[in-house]
């Protein structure tokens, strides 16, 4: 699994695309690592990068943001890296303002990604469960499964707050969608779609990323059914290297995990529950 060198790279924005309430930031990255499983490639789905705009980022009195922001790598092409953004504060707002030709500092890939549990000899199918902006790492995960000769069966379940955010489902293919307000797809929670899938066929492995409440629901469902699950957590990070201990979450049996180096993807069995701060925005 790739770990970034202790240095950031200056890259150039190639474009930013609207996706309902979200934005897809595209960055020229011809020398970036290709995506694949740990034994195949150097960028594992679920890893993240620390981003900061090259200009107007902590450069003046009272100017925010100060620290880089962590984002899952949503897609890799031969020439670009993609990141999914939602304007929820000073950092994401500044990144959403970027346009083609602007500069961006990128540090990554960092952290531990998903493992290819769906490719085991018992042929478990893969259930990809995402919520809100947390769908980002599932896009590159779906791409990786699609490129895999093992041809694992993949089902995608995505949940959003409303129709504006449900446009984000276009980032993946053939997704079943749930919305809190019933404006698109199933009226209810994405965990209800997951419960139906597990009832139909529990012989699966679950890959999930989303708000903490959703991740806790996924963890509990999988614990009840004995279904293995990998959860991509999110927590406030200052460094991305495990030095500041700002992103710790408690683990089952005592002690803590640092989301940036022990995660962001962790085995659900390592957690007694998902902390309220350990999820992506809805």
Spatial distance between the Cα atoms of 79 and 123, rounded to a whole number of angstroms: 33
How would you write the chain as a 3-class SS string?
CCCCCCCCEEEEEEEEEEECCEEEEEEECCCCCCECCCCCCCECCCCEEEEEECCCCCCCCCCCCCCCEEEECCEECCCEEEEEECCCCHHHHHHHCCCCCCEEEEEEEECECCCCHHHCCCCCEEEEEEEHHHHHHHHHHHHHHHCCCCCCCEEEEEEECCHHHHHHHHHCCCEEEEECCCCCCEECCHHHHHHHHHHHCCCEEEEEECCHHHHHHHHHHHHHHCCCEEEECCCCCCCCCCCCCCCEEECCCCCEEECCCCCEEEEHHHCCCCCCCCCCCC
Q: Residue 17 corresponds to which tokens in the numbers above? A: 């695309």
pLDDT exceeds cutoff 70 at 91: yes
- Are 171 and 135 within 8 A, CB to CB? yes
Looking at residue 76, its pLDDT comes to 94
Rounded Cα distance between 144 and 25, Å, is: 20
Instruction: Map out the domains of the chain as residue ranges.
Output: 9-110, 117-270
Average pLDDT over residues 61-82: 88
Return the axis-axis angle of helices 190-200 and 212-225, rounded to nearest 10°.
Answer: 20
Which residue in 214, 170, 206 sits closest to 188, CA to CA?
Answer: 214
Per-residue pLDDT at 116 exceeds 90: no
Asked if 210 and 135 touch (Cβ cutoff 8 Å), the reply is yes
Q: Looking at residue 148, what is its pLDDT?
A: 82
Domain spanning 9-110: CATH superfamily:
Translation factors (2.40.30.10)
pLDDT above 80 for 18: yes
Record the tokens describing residue 118, joined without a space.
């769906």
- Predicted pLDDT of residue 118: 64
Q: With contact defined as beta carbons under 8 Å apart, do 178 and 160 qualify?
A: yes
The residue written with tokens 């949940």 in the block is 159
Q: Mean pLDDT: which of 11-20, 249-258, 268-277 is highest?
A: 11-20
* Beta-bridge mates of residue 82: 26, 75
Q: pLDDT digit string (tens) for 230-251? A: 999 987 777 777 778 778 888 8
What pLDDT does residue 282 have? 59
Which residue is listed with tokens 């790598």? 73
Q: Confidence band (pLDDT; 50, 70, 90) for 152? A: confident
Q: Cis link prior to 109 (omega < 30° from 0)?
A: yes
Q: Which residue has the tokens 């890893």?
A: 47
**Burial grade of 39 (CB within 10 A; 0-12, 13-18, 19 or more):** exposed
pLDDT of residue 234: 84
The whole-number average pLDDT for the span 263-280 is 86
Q: What is the pLDDT of residues 124-143, one digit of tens each?
A: 899 999 999 999 999 999 99
Query: Which of 57-61, 141-145, 260-264 is predicted least confidently?
Result: 57-61
Q: Which CATH number fits domain 117-270: 2.40.100.20, 3.40.50.80, 3.20.20.140, 3.10.20.90?
A: 3.40.50.80
């Amino acid at each position: 699994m790739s770990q970034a060198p202790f240095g950031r790279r200056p890259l150039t924005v190639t474009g930013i695309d609207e996706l309902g309430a979200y934005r897809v930031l595209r960055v020229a990255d011809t020398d970036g690592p290709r995506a694949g499983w740990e034994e195949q490639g150097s960028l594992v789905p679920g890893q993240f990068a620390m981003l900061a705009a090259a200009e107007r980022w902590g450069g003046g009195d009272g100017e925010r943001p100060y620290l880089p922001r962590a984002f899952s790598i949503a897609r890799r092409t031969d020439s670009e890296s993609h990141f999914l953004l939602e304007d929820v504060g000073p950092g994401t707002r500044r990144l959403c303002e970027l346009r083609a030709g602007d500069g961006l500092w990128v540090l990554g890939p960092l952290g531990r990604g998903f493992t290819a549990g769906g490719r085991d000899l018992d042929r478990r199918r893969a259930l990809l469960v995402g919520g809100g902006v947390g769908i980002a790492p599932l896009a590159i995960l779906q791409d990786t499964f699609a490129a895999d000769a093992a041809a694992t069966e993949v089902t995608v379940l995505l949940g959003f707050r409303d129709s504006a955010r449900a446009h984000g489902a276009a980032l993946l293919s053939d997704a079943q969608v749930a919305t809190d307000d019933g404006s698109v797809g199933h009226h209810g929670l994405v965990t209800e779609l997951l419960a139906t899938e597990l009832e139909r066929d529990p012989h699966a492995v679950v890959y999930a990323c989303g708000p903490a409440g959703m991740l806790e629901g996924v963890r509990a469902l999988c614990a009840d059914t004995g279904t293995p699950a990998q959860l991509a957590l999110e927590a406030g990070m200052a460094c991305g290297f495990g030095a500041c201990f700002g992103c710790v979450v408690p683990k089952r049996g005592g002690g803590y995990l640092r989301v940036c180096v022990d995660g962001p993807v962790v085995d659900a069995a390592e957690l007694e529950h998902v902390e309220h701060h350990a999820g992506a925005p809805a």
